[in-house]
Amino acid sequence: MQLMMSWSAEIPTKENLPCANGSEKMLLTAMRYSHLLLKEVLQPGDSALDGTMGNGNDTALLAELVGASGHVYGFDLQALAVENTKKRLAEKELLPQSQLYLKGHETIDQTLAENVQLTAAIFNLGYLPKSDKNIITLPETTKIALTSCLRRLKSKGRLIIVAYYGHPGGPEELATVENFCENLPQEQFNVLKYQFINQKNSPPILFCVEKK
């Protein structure tokens, strides 16, 4: 008797395999994995948010993925971050779909219209590399922003947090984020934690919250 089997998983390609770290046999860093998780859900025309623009790497990826018909909302409280992001987006002709705010992400609800819904949001917690290390994301304001994003997340949408925590204040913020994530009701959300557990120097930890 012949056994028929069906396999419905997505066919792996070089782009979607979790081993595209330069070498095809390496696990993805938290940063690269965050990009893969965004690429899996974002489509042209969607809306997405970058809660910590920094140098604009993530904002540019979001703007590319949602395309000219989509919307990207970026927040950062440092003028340098907004300038750097604007420059990066301009170079790639991604400014038309991007709205950049020189504001803390805790103001998301005061800044965006009530009806703005998100397919994805990303936060890179910590400080802006090669800049003032005293300007860091903080537990309470981060929590406010995460709550705003979850409320606006569409079904099957993803909220991604990449927590850098090797600086003073970092462990406290990580604890807040972890507590926030692990207490989300499983009837409404799937929550993933992705972490290298044998590496030195506090490598970033990724959390992905998927709305059911």
Ligand X SMILES: C[S@@+](CC[C@H](N)C(=O)[O-])C[C@H]1O[C@@H](n2cnc3c(N)ncnc32)[C@H](O)[C@@H]1O
Q: Which residue is nearest to ligand X (CB)?
A: 54
Task: Supply the minimum distance, in Å, between the C-beta of residue 164 and ligand X.
Answer: 6
- What is the contact surface with ligand X in residues (CB under 6 A)? 51-52, 54-58, 75-78, 81, 104-106, 124, 126-128, 135, 137, 141, 164
Q: Which is nearer to ligand X, 55 or 119 (CB)?
A: 55
Reduced to 3 states (helix: H, G, I; strand: E, B; else coil), residue 206 is strand
Task: Supply the minimum distance, in Å, between the C-beta of residue 5 and ligand X.
Answer: 42
Nearest to 156 by CA among 124, 129, 185, 119: 119
Q: Which is nearer to ligand X, 117 or 131 (CB)?
A: 131
204 in Cβ contact with 194 (< 8 Å): no
User: What single letter denotes the amino acid at residue 129?
Assistant: P
> How far apart (Å, rounded) are the C-alpha atoms in residues 25 and 166?
27
Task: Supply the minimum distance, in Å, between the C-beta of residue 13 and ligand X.
Answer: 25
Nearest to 67 by CA among 101, 29, 94, 27: 94
Q: Which is nearer to ligand X, 56 or 70 (CB)?
A: 56
Backbone angles phi, psi at 62, to 5 degrees: -60, -45
Task: Supply the minimum distance, in Å, between the C-beta of residue 119 and ligand X.
Answer: 18
Q: Which is nearer to ligand X, 70 or 104 (CB)?
A: 104
